[in-house]
Structure 1
Amino acid sequence: MSDLNLSSLTISIDLELEIGQATASQLDWLDDLTPELVALLDSHKIAATWAVADPARSAATDSILSSDLPHEMAVLGDRTWLGWGAGGSRANRELARRISGAAARQISIRTLVLHNESSFANGLQLSELGIRTVRQPIGHEVLRPVSLMGLAKGLAVAEQVQRLTLPKWWSWWEGESQLTARCRQRTLLPERATRHLGLDAQQLCSAGPRGLQRLANLLEELCELRSRRQVQLLTLQQWQERRVVAEKRAA
């Protein structure tokens, strides 16, 4: 079976805590956790999309790029790094600065991940800046939905991003996640479907070591599905590239 006929699943990680709300201990924990998280994904041969505010300056970048897998770095777009009420010209300058800074380190940015609001993506010169994919915020924490009418033609939009559920650090017991159960039961994806999974830094800090264990269980189930050729596990950039190939073949 051609890879283009397989169901697709992407995994993206928003690796920034809320500005002004993060504690020093959370920041330290996240810094220590990131290499472990990269190693966990690498051990399962799964590449993910890692979204940070500024890829050229992020403390996580070196750990991610040291992997032998084709992990993707993305810009995490958030109103807070623009300031409320900032116009489109400032947003374009900020996004361009982050993309050019990454390019200076030979990091190619093709994906804009939206953290908690979608509407400010409208009007940005995304195609001119090399952006090919826009990912909606995880779950339903969307202040204002993105207007597809405001995006340039040809951009792939990853919508309905499902949040990966992790146990709380302090919880005594929490059973198998629904997503893991669906993987185990082989009911996660219908044929040729696409699903986007998302995980954010706040979840990782709240879950602690138990979160990594649950994530490891899920990754094992996903690997089993992949070995049976029931799903392909992709970064957002890989998903977009396969979309382009499929559209060209259909034309």
Structure 2
Amino acid sequence: MNDRPTSVLIVGATGSVGRYAVAEALRQGYRVRALVRDGARGRRLGDDVELVLGDLTRPDTLTAAVDGVDGVVFVHGTTTRESDVRDVDYAGVANILKALGGRRVRIALMTAIGTTRPGVPYAEWKLRGERLVRASGNPYTVVRPGWFDYNDDGQRRIVMLQGDTRQSGTPRDGVIARDEIARVLIDSLSSQAADRKTFELVAETGPEQRDLTGVFAALETDAAGSLDGATDAAVLPLDREPETFLRDLDAIGTR
């Protein structure tokens, strides 16, 4: 595949971050396809967006969505209920990866700051989605944003952290605007410096940078063959993982 994808599928395109991701991808010159369940809602994204009807919980509806694209941006999300995150957030990642059938694409995955908090069931399923992406063999960037839109007007400087050490479960962990989340995800698609990077995304006081190459480059790269992000604590031993995840790992993983 080319270093920079040309056609991008946005999963969760009509959501609160997804709409920004669509606009940013169009601005950067990508051909944009949106996976939507509701065609009427999807049409609000504009005439420049190709709509494909599908449901992340129904794998048989996803083949057309991934056909021909060379980039996938995951910005879908539900609630903090374990069942929702397991059955939609996690399963959506697993089902899209399976629908690709091993074909390589560039992936940008949005999860959340605090994903490695031990003993938090919904966070564990988000982390399992990350692990499938790492195991898939695709080039990827995993972005864990802080709390959406809690930033002040002057708080626009993009900061990328690693190790997932901010785990209060409150805005004290970090804040970031939704449009900046989208910008970082879309920027990562064309940046070699962002490949195989996992980081927490927050904003601090100051203006937004025009070029994020140096910010991406300063991050530690995820270890080859590892299921976990660089400097993350290992909180999910494989021998204790649920069968659902282990089956998906066997179906998707290249290790």
Same fold? TM cut 0.5: no
The alignment's TM-score, normalised by the length of structure 1, stands at: 0.37
Which structure ranks higher in relative contact order (CA pairs < 8 Å, sequence separation ≥ 6)?
1
Rg (Cα) greater in structure: 1
